[in-house]
Amino acid sequence: MTAAGHRSSDRGPEGELGRLARRLGPLDDEWRDGAACKGLPAGAFFPERGELPAAEVLGVCRSCPVRRPCLEYALATGDPGVWGGTTAKERRRLRRGSAA
């Protein structure tokens, strides 16, 4: 273990630094400024496990001008909740589809 606390295996794309980079997503996150959900209760976008988001939440996403970068962010990070008008389950399907 180094002074920084990273193992050498953490330096590759599958290591801790790679995971951190994926979680951070694109460094340019100015898209968030245009988010239609800005100021709405965040909890509505993070339904309990196994529950579907409310139709109103998905409706907000449908008219959101930054839906695409939002979805790209979530696909890159694997964050839970509603992003880009999709649920985490839908994004898992998208990822599997793009890997095939």
Closer to ligand SF4 by CB, 21 or 58: give it: 58
Measure the CA–CA gap between 97 and 94, rounded to whole angstroms.
5
The label of the residue with tokens 């139709």 reads 55
Q: Return the residue of 64, 75, 87, 91 that touches ligand SF4, per CB under 6 A.
A: 64
Residues 20-39 close enough to bind ligand SF4 by CB under 6 A: 35-37
Give the residues across from 86 on adjacent strands. Answer: 83
Interatomic CA distance for residues 47 and 70, integer angstroms: 18
Q: Give least dist CB 32 to ligand SF4, A.
A: 7
Among the listed ranges 3-11, 19-27, 47-55, 59-67, the one in contact with ligand SF4 (CB under 6 A) is: 59-67
Per the structure block, which two tokens stand in for 15?
């290591």
**Is 84 one of the binding residues for ligand SF4 (CB under 6 A)?**
yes
For 43, 54, 59, 93, 100, the CA distances from 97, given in Å and listed in that order, are: 28, 25, 25, 6, 5
Q: Contact residues for ligand SF4 (CB under 6 A)? A: 35-37, 45, 60-61, 64, 66-67, 70, 82-85
